[in-house]
Structure 1
Amino acid sequence: MQDLYGKRAIVSGGGSGIGRALVEQLTGSGVKTAIADLHLPANLPAGTIPLACDVTDPLSVDALYAEVQRQLGMPSILVCSAGQGIHEKLTEGDPEKWQQVINTNLMGTLRMIRAFVPGMLEAGEGDVVIISSVAAGQAYPYGGVYAATKTALQVIAETLRQEVLPAVRVTTVVPGVTDTAFFEHTLSGVQTVESIGYGALTPGQVADAILYALRQPPGVSVNQLTLRPTAQVF
Structure 2
Amino acid sequence: MQFLKGRKAIVSGGGSGIGRAVVEKLAAADMETALADLHIPSGLPAGTHPFTCNVSAAEDIDRLFTGVQEKLGTPDILVCSAGRGIHEKLTEGDPEKWRQVIDTNLLGALRMIRAFVPGMLAKGQGDVVLLSSVSAGQAYAYGGVYAATKSALEVVAETLRQEVMPNVRVTVVAPGVTDTPFFKNTISGFHTVEDIGYGAISAEAVADAVLYALDKPPGLSINQIVLRPTNQPF
TM category, shorter: over 0.9
Secondary structure of 1:78 counterpart: strand
* Deviation readout 1:5-45 (Å, 9 max, x if unpaired): 11100000000000000100001101110000001111221
**Which residue of structure 2 lines up, in the alignment, with residue 70 of structure 1?**
70
Structure 1, gaps ≥5 residues long? none
- Tell me which amino acid in the other structure corresponds to 2:171: T
Give the structure 2 partner of residue 205 of structure 1. 205
Q: Secondary structure at the match of 1:173?
A: strand
Aligned partners of 1:29 and 1:4: how far apart in 2?
Answer: 7
Mapped partners of 1:121, 1:2: distance in 2: 22
Cα distance in 1 between the residues matched to 2:120 and 2:154:
21
TM-score, length basis structure 2? 0.99
Q: Structure 1, residues 36-90: CA drift from partner, whole Å, max 9, x if none?
A: 0001111221220000001000010000000000011100000000000000000
- Match in the other structure for 2:188: 188
Report if aligned partners of 2:33, 2:48 keep a CA contact under 8 Å in 1: yes
What SS does the aligned partner of 2:201 have?
A: coil
Corresponding residue number in structure 1 for 2:30: 30
Residues 84-119 of structure 1: per-residue CA shift (max 9 Å, x gap)? 000000000100000000000000000000000000
- Render the CA deviation track for 1:147-200: whole Å, top value 9, x for unaligned: 000000000000000000000000000000000000000000011101110000
Q: Which residue of 2 aligns with 1:85?
A: 85
Residue type at the aligned position of 1:184:
K
- Counterpart mapping for 1:1-234 below 5 A: 2-234=2-234
Equivalent residue letter for 1:129? V
Distance 2:199 2:139 in 1: 21
Identical pairs, percent: 68
Contact 1:15 1:44 in 2 (8 A): no
Cα distance in 2 for partners of 1:189, 1:3 equals 42
Which consecutive unaligned segments of at least 5 residues does structure 2 have? none
Q: How many residues align?
A: 234
**Contact 1:13 1:83 (8 Å CA) reproduced:** yes
Question: In 2, distance between residues paired with 1:16 and 1:44?
Answer: 11
* 1:2–1:218 CA contact under 8 A, matched in 2: no
Deviation at 1:134, TM superposition (A): 0.2
- Which secondary structure state, in structure 2, belongs to the residue aligned with residue 14 of structure 1? coil
Cα displacement (A) at 1:222: 0.2
